[in-house]
Amino acid sequence: MLKRIRTVLILVLVLSFSTVSIGNEWANYYFPDTAGSYWTYEDQDGNELTRYAIEPETIDGETYRAFSYEPALENWADFEHYVQPYYYQVGDDWVAFFVGTEIENALKAHTIEDMDEVLPFMREQMMAEIPEGAPISIDITYDVEAEAQDYFYLLPTPATFNEEWTALELNATLTLTINIQGAPVEIPGGGSPTITTYSSIVEIGKVTGTETVDTPAGTFEDCLIIEYQTNETTEMAISVPGAPQEAPEEKEGTSITTLWLAPNVGIVKFKHEHPEADEARAEFGLPPDGERTLELTNYEIKGSPSEVE
């Protein structure tokens, strides 16, 4: 019975060059931040998000460039760390988003939403194994933990086409406890079965080239294309009190996120694809997450455009 829900739990945490170099001046060229500038985006569902460049802030002795957003974020599950940093830095080595805590919050919120969908299915599968009319009830509780590095490394400075870097590392643990009431035989060891899913997530970034991009805000030439491949290794362990410990089951998955950055404008397009997760959701009668997108619809950059030397 427990083995039948392995794939469901894995699904829950499956979220989701030439020799040309790009130096620090190019980072500013592709990521302007003059206070008062704004960018309005529209997602795949027609929802708008406007980002405003505001004055830098100092946190624990570190100075960060800063953004604010309208509408304000109400659900952490809607947070996209690729495009929604509140604080970031442009330095000699990286354009780095200070979003570790936000990523942890987002993963937990996503997991809670997924569990709200998955738990009824799990209970149904378990109850199907119990003889009809038996006075047995099943209650499933869970806990999720997440630990992300402080920074998402958007872009190295300098960067080289087709040279990979580690943009993000994230670890997550989902622990489920299955409480069975009314069983005619006492559970061995007096405890409840637990299922623990460990996920190790690594995002690898790569600048693949440049291209012209059409958006509702206009056509942008020489857009920098940054592709992030998310590699997730998930290991599931099932523990039944009084029973031999089974060998953990391991599964791997990938997703692709692409950003397009226009000169003197910044991010003009975002696309996230995770077909493996959608296929798994369909297997269990869950709706697909679908492809997520953002496109620039309106913007204003204050001050003079950055110059590339």
**Degrees (nearest 5) of the Cα angle 142, 280, 7?**
45
Full DSSP string of 242-274: TSPPPPPEEEEEEEEEEEEEETTTEEEEEEEE-
Q: Parallel, antiparallel, or unpaired for β 165-181 and 249-262?
A: unpaired
Q: 12, 197 in Cβ contact below 8 A?
A: yes
Name the pLDDT band for 307 (thresholds 50, 70, 90): very low
% of the chain surpassing 70 pLDDT = 79
Distance of alpha carbon 69 from alpha carbon 71, whole angstroms: 6
Tokens of 225: 């294309």
> pTM of the full predicted structure?
0.83
Tokens of 304: 């003079």
> Residue 26 has what pLDDT?
62
The residues with which 116 forms a beta bridge, in sequence order, are none
Q: pLDDT (tens digit, 9 = 90+) per residue, 153-210? A: 999 988 789 999 999 999 999 999 988 777 655 555 456 888 899 999 999 999 999 9
Q: pLDDT (tens digit, 9 = 90+) per residue, 33-70? A: 889 999 999 999 999 999 999 999 999 999 999 999 99
